[in-house]
Chains A and B, each alone.
Chain A
C-alpha cells in the first residue's frame, strides 16, 4: 500500500482556520471509516486527535474536527493556537489487515 497523500506544509495565523487533506484510494480512505489523525510535536510520540473520521477522543479540543468525502479525508483546526504547531498524520485501514499513514503535514502558526 502506498502512503496516503498529504500536503507537506500548511500555515495560518493565530485565530484562523486551516484544513489538511489526506487523499487515498477506494481501497483505503474511500472504502473504510477506519481513519484517524495524529498530532506530533518534536521529540514526542504521536497523539490521537481524531478517530473514525470525525470522532474526538476525550480531552481533545473541539477546535479539531474531521470529515471525509470520497477518497479524501480532511482535518480542520479552527481558531489556530501557537501550540497547534507540529506535524499531523492521517492513518487508514487499507484492507487485508494492513494500515497506512499519510506522509505528514507540518503546521506552522505564523
Chain B
C-alpha cells in the first residue's frame, strides 16, 4: 500500500525538542521529496519545510518561522524522513503531516498528492 505514516508526536515543554518520523511505503522513496505541513488546532495549514531526493542533493528549505529551529533529514535505508524540532514554542503546537510531492523534477515538488494522517505535537508547561 502506498502510504506515509508519521510518528513521534507528544507533549513537550516550551524550549524542548522533539523528533518526528515519516515512514514511507509502497513507492520509491529514494526518488521522492518529502515536505512537512502543520495545522494548529482549529487553524489553517502551514508549510514547515522540505527535503528533496538524492537527485537534488537532499536540498532542504524551511520558512522563516521555523528556520534555525527545525531540521529535516532522511534515511534512505529505512525509507523514512525526519523533522527535528528544537527550541519549541507554544505556537508550534499542531498536527504535523508529512506529504509527498507529485514529482521531484525541476523545482516542481510543490504539489502534494500523498499525505500521512499526521501526528500531534503539544507544547505546554
Contacts and interface: CB of A to CB of B under 8 A. Distances in A.
B47 A101 contact: yes
B47 to A, nearest CB: 4
- Range, interface on chain A: 20 to 34
Contacts of B54: none
Q: Is the interface of A mostly helix, strand, loop or mixed?
A: strand
Mostly, the B contact residues are: loop
Contacts, number: 70
A3 B45 CA distance: 10
Interface residues of B, number: 24
A106 to B, nearest CB: 10
A96 B110 CA distance: 13
A109 interface: no
13 contacts: A34-B107, A36-B110, A40-B45, A46-B45, A46-B112, A48-B113, A51-B113, A57-B113, A89-B45, A98-B62, A99-B50, A100-B47, A104-B45
